[in-house]
Structure 1
Amino acid sequence: MFYKLKKKMRAKYREATPIQLLVAYYAIATVITFFLLCLPWIRLPDAPHTTFLDNLFMAVSTISVTGLSTFPIDQVYNQYGVILLEFLFQVGGFGVTMLATVAMVLTGRRIGLHQRQLIQFDMNQPRLSGMVKLVTSVFGLMIMVQVVFGILFSLYFSFKHIYHSFADALFHGMYISISAVTNAGFDVTGDSIAPFRHDYIFLLIIMVLVIIGSIGYPVLTEIEAWIIYKVRYRGLRKFRFSLFCKLAVFFAAIFTVIGTVLLFLSENEGFGLRADSFNNFMSAMFYSVSARNAGLQINSMNDFNPTTLLLIAILMFIGASPSSVGGGVRTTTIGILILYLYSFIRGRNNVNVFNRRISQKDIQKAIVVVSLSTLLCISAVLILTATEDASLLALIFEVTSAFGTTGFSLGITSDLSTVGKIVIMILMFVGRIGMLYTLMFFIRKRDRDLSYKLPTEKIIIG
């Protein structure tokens, strides 16, 4: 009986596509996370009761590194629980296949073609070659950044006497570093990083860490290769960045600048803090960076006016770069769509940028991803308006926060109904996997193109 079941499971495994396996692995990781978060020894003695759905919601939010929670984390989990969350942030941020690959490399196991395909799809890479090197480089770099800045934060907290002991300073310093790099955004203190809202150097460092996590793994490896290249050849040979790297950095910078300007203009009262221009600018820049995936906040979201909240919702919907810890439709997706619209308006048949032409297939993918993501979010908002007792703005904000795996909320998460929690969980999971892969999960075999072409007929549009 057991042999037949095992044989059947192997057959199903061979029939499944890499994307289906990838989604299945994240689902399994979510289930394991659920059981881990139910362990009694990670909870405070007087912690309030959490239901099955609340724990499942927390598991999905953790694996998708979103940051939304239906209960106050600082009132439920003890220090062991927070340490467990830090480990789970790595699983959600790096991805299941990356950690499995690193474990196989460390144990000396051979990484086969199937495993390399899973890495390729998980990291959204166009080529199969160099996957293992990419994974090990990214993992080592990200861990090094987390540890170095965690220690620096700890020393800073200890020097400023923010915490009573160095152990507490180390605990919180490492958590903030890990939370920023993995773009988790979970609030384990009840104040997020609000106590540091006027510490501009601290905020700038946090923004740098958030950008490192959200800019995209291929960008980080190319920057590392560029530095090594400069040192080795001392500028005698020119290093060529890939088109993806250029677009990811360009549009991340563009959306950060545009977001900063719009948020700065939208809030005239100092973001609920104090009414001076520099403080407003720093707050605007911080939220322009944090809204696109980190979910770290320096004051309550309820301090903002409706225009600012809608702007933040748009930034959350855009999200981070592909092949990063972030969610949303991704920066390059929106960027390609903007370039396509610009080329269409100018009457050009091709989309050219940085002396390269973007393929029609990539343009089609961008249009499909943005269209389906918009449809998904609109459908979620429609469902929530029928099931939840909250304002339309709060529901839009919650939906985009979940889909963008950001974690901002106007305080309605804990009051969601059963249907509302399920909808938000689906959005968080889809936001982490990606809309394109979610769609491809249901496709078993690719449709073959017809060997013939049907007659073309014009359609009236517009």
Structure 2
Amino acid sequence: MMKLINLFPHWRMSPPQILALGFICTIIVGMLILKLPVSTVHGITWLDALFTATSATTVTGLVVLNTGSDFTIVGQIVIMVLIQIGGLGLMTFAIITVLVLGKRIGLRERVLIQEALNQHSIGGVVKLVKILFLFSITIEFIAALLLSFRWVPEYGWKDGVFTSIFHSISAFNNAGFSLWSDSLTGYRGDPTINIVITVLFIIGGIGFTVLYDVMTTKRFRLFSLHTKIMLTGTVVVNIIAMIVIFLLEYGNPLTLGALPLSDQLWTSYFQAVTPRTAGFNTLEIGDMNPGTIVFMLLLMFIGAGSASTGSGVKLTTFLIIILAVITYLRGKQETVIFHRTIHHDIIIRALAIVVISLSIIFLVILGLSVTENAPFIHIVFEAFSAFGTVGLSMGLTDQLSIYGKQMIIVLMFIGRIGPLTLAFALAKSAKRTVSYPKGEVFTG
């Protein structure tokens, strides 16, 4: 990555452009390796290799081939590495590599880290990268160890340990890749699997800056405003989502209706937290009621936290808009939360991110409606899942046409890169040289 930065010294590329280029290069390398005969059992087309590499690098989880049966152990390891790189971030691995080699981190590299981790300044960013990298690897190791107690007795040492490591990395990075075609539906009532997997993708989805704030500050009243909003919002949204899904699916004999109460609660909890970019499922998505599907669209669009392993428009973006609407309805001038005022520029930026994101999703839905012979709700769900890099599907992914796969590839890439890039691009305010008189426009 550092060589990539200095490869074209005369090109004036912005940090978001460099990060996007880094993702593209990683995807291409992943595609080339997955196309090798050693990576698959029966071979793979170039488009499917590109789709899989994109899905893994953007930590989406949408698959056109069965990860467990169509890919060899080499292919599965490649997917796992792409997930780790895409989840923790290209700059994280680049910085760690440079530090291991004993090289110096320059100013430009620090600016890139600042952009990648959504920091307000470059001070302490290298220390932040080192701490977050060690924390992530430690969490994944502990989770893999816990999962091995469940899967080693079932699959043996070799397969059990690999399965545990694969799902630990996939869960922490909110990728949703599983070695089973039905994801985790076989473990819907298993407390160990439910707790370990969900804790992994909740921690990974909160955001690295929030984790760092929690580890260093340790007292809620001293947390930054962003950390307070993320922690409170995550708890509230997850509880509401669990209650809504339980009520909507309680009488559905194809999902919760046929399960005992304990399994109903575990499954409702899992399906409530997984749509916000995790991608695992313990219920067949296609069997859910239409109301549940629509509710999951909202959760997938909201996504995870800023500078996290997840995507979507981000929870803080969504909550800021909700708070701004409430402020307007109450007739107040300033949006306040936790005794802090949200600046109008942040509200405008959040609104712009949501509008642009919805516009992109709409265009892809329009395109898929033309190219795909599938129920409309399946198309809509696939588009929202791809943009939020969630990985949940109603069974459309492996049925996509060539054009459909290409559109989903682009949408997965935009979903992982777009909101972050847009946030930084919109944050840079241009100097006003001319001031025009205000005009009145009727709305509503």
Q: TM-score, normalised by structure 1?
A: 0.90
2:90 is aligned to 96
> Displacement, 1:187?
2.4
- Give CA deviations for 1:48-86 in whole Å, capped at 9, x if unaligned: x42211111111111101001112222321122212222
Q: Spell out the pairing of 1:104-119 with structure 2 (5 A cutoff).
A: 104-119=98-113
Residue from 390, 398, 402 that aligns with 1:406: 390
- Corresponding position: 1:306 with 2:290: yes
Residue from 131, 135, 139 that aligns with 1:137: 131
**Paired residues of 2:150 and 2:192 also in contact (CA < 8 A):** no
**Paired residues of 1:329 and 1:434 also in contact (CA < 8 A):** no
Bigger Cα Rg: 1
Higher mean alpha-carbon deviation, 136-145 vs 180-189, is at 180-189
- Give CA deviations for 1:197-223 in whole Å, capped at 9, x if unaligned: 111232022111111110100111112
> Displacement, 1:358?
1.0
Q: Distance in 2 between matches of 1:447 and 1:206?
A: 41
Letter in 2 for 1:299: L
**Paired residues of 2:80 and 2:166 also in contact (CA < 8 A):** yes
Q: 1:343 to 1:270 in 2, by over 3 A?
A: farther
1:149 is aligned to 143
1:33 is aligned to 30
Return 5+ residue gaps in structure 1 as ranges: 1-5, 231-237
Tell me, what secondary structure is at the counterpart of 2:9? helix
Q: 1:174 to 1:271 in 2, by over 3 A?
A: farther
Tell me, what secondary structure is at the counterpart of 1:10? coil
Residue from 201, 204, 212 that aligns with 2:192: 201
Letter in 1 for 2:9: R
Higher mean alpha-carbon deviation, 117-126 vs 394-403, is at 117-126
Return 5+ residue gaps in structure 2 as ranges: none
Q: Distance in 2 between matches of 1:270 and 1:169?
A: 33
1:434 is aligned to 418
1:172 is aligned to 163
Tell me, what secondary structure is at the counterpart of 1:352? strand
Tell me, what secondary structure is at the counterpart of 1:395? helix
Q: TM-score, normalised by structure 2?
A: 0.94
1:262 is aligned to 244
Q: Distance in 2 between matches of 1:114 and 1:142?
A: 25
Letter in 2 for 1:333: T
- Corresponding position: 1:54 with 2:45: no
* Pairwise CA RMSD: 2.1
2:408 is aligned to 424
Deviating runs (4+, > 3 A) in structure 1? 275-278, 438-441, 445-448
Q: 1:8 to 1:93 in 2, by over 3 A?
A: closer
Higher mean alpha-carbon deviation, 401-410 vs 165-174, is at 165-174
**Paired residues of 1:270 and 1:280 also in contact (CA < 8 A):** no
Letter in 1 for 2:227: C
Tell me, what secondary structure is at the counterpart of 2:336? strand
Tell me, what secondary structure is at the counterpart of 2:154? coil
Q: Distance in 2 between matches of 1:32 and 1:207?
A: 30
2:225 is aligned to 243
Q: 1:128 to 1:7 in 2, by over 3 A?
A: closer
**Paired residues of 1:292 and 1:315 also in contact (CA < 8 A):** yes
- Give CA deviations for 1:387-436 in whole Å, capped at 9, x if unaligned: 11011100111001100101011111112122211111111001111335
**Paired residues of 2:189 and 2:262 also in contact (CA < 8 A):** no
Q: Distance in 2 between matches of 1:108 and 1:322?
A: 30
> Displacement, 1:239?
6.5
> Displacement, 1:30?
1.1
2:20 is aligned to 23
2:379 is aligned to 395
Tell me, what secondary structure is at the counterpart of 1:16? coil
Q: 1:7 to 1:42 in 2, by over 3 A?
A: closer
> Displacement, 1:118?
0.8
Letter in 1 for 2:154: I
> Displacement, 1:196?
1.3
Q: Distance in 2 between matches of 1:292 and 1:80?
A: 29
2:442 is aligned to 460
Q: Distance in 1 between matches of 2:204 and 2:67?
A: 23
Residue from 234, 249, 252 that aligns with 1:252: 234
Tell me, what secondary structure is at the counterpart of 1:357? strand
Residue from 331, 340, 355 that aligns with 1:356: 340
- Corresponding position: 1:221 with 2:221: no
- Give CA deviations for 1:334-361 in whole Å, capped at 9, x if unaligned: 0100010010111111111111111111
